[in-house]
A = this chain, B = another copy of it.
Amino acid sequence: MIGQLVGPEIQELISLRDFSSLKEVVSDWPPADIADMIEILSENDQAILFRLLPKKLATEVYEHLELEVQKRLLRAMAQEQVAAILNEMAPDDRTALLEELPAPTVLQLLQQLSPAERMVSRSLLGYPENSVGRLMTPDFVAIHPEMNVDQVLRYIREHGKDSETLNVIYVIDDNGKLLDGIRAREFLLSPLDKKTSDVMHGNVIALNATDDQETAVDMFRKHGRYALPVIDSEGHLIGIVTIDDVLGVADEEATEDIQKFGGMEALEKPYLSTPLLEMVKKRAGWLVILFVGEMLTATAMGYFEKEIARAVVLALFVPLIISSGGNSGSQAATLIIRAMALAEITLADWWRVMRREIIAGLMLGITLGSIGFLRIVLWSVVFHLYGPHWPLVALAVGMSLIGVVMWGALAGSMLPFMLRRVGVDPATSSAPFVATLVDVTGLLIYFSVAFFILKGSLL
**Stretch with Cβ within 8 A of B (4 or more), from A76-84, A233-241, A267-275:** A267-275
* B185 A160 Cβ-Cβ under 8 A: yes
Residues of chain B contacted by A363 (CB below 8 angstroms): 280, 284
Q: Which residue of B lies closest to A163 (CB)?
A: B185
CB pair A330–B188 under 8 Å, yes or no, is: no
Contact among B30, B202, B267, B356 with A28 in the assembled complex (CB-CB below 8 Å): B202
* A294-346 with Cβ < 8 A to chain B: 294-295, 297-298, 301-302, 305, 308-309, 312-313, 315-320, 322-324, 326-328, 330-331, 333-339, 342, 344-345
Q: Shortest distance in angstroms between A61's beta carbon and chain B's nearest beta carbon?
A: 12
Are B298's CB and A317's CB within 8 A?
A: yes
A165 to B319, CA, bound (A): 57
Is A263 within 8 A of B327, CB to CB? yes
Contact A326 B271 (CB under 8 A): no
- A247 at the binding interface (Cβ < 8 Å): yes
Chain B residue with Cβ nearest A166 = B185
Contact A280 B360 (CB under 8 A): yes
Q: Which of A217-231 contact B (CB under 8 A)?
A: 220-226
Complex contacts, A203 vs chain B, CB 8 Å: 28-30
Tell me, yes or no, whether A368 is within 8 Å of chain B by CB.
yes
Q: Which residues in B have their C-beta under 8 angstroms from that of A405?
A: 287
Instruction: Establish whether residues A243 and B247, one from each chain, have CB atoms under 8 Å apart when the complex forms.
Output: yes
State how many angstroms separate the Cβ of A428 from the closest Cβ of chain B: 14
B-chain residues with CB within 8 Å of residue A344 when the two chains form the complex: 270-272
* Bound form: Cα–Cα A371–B295 in Å: 10
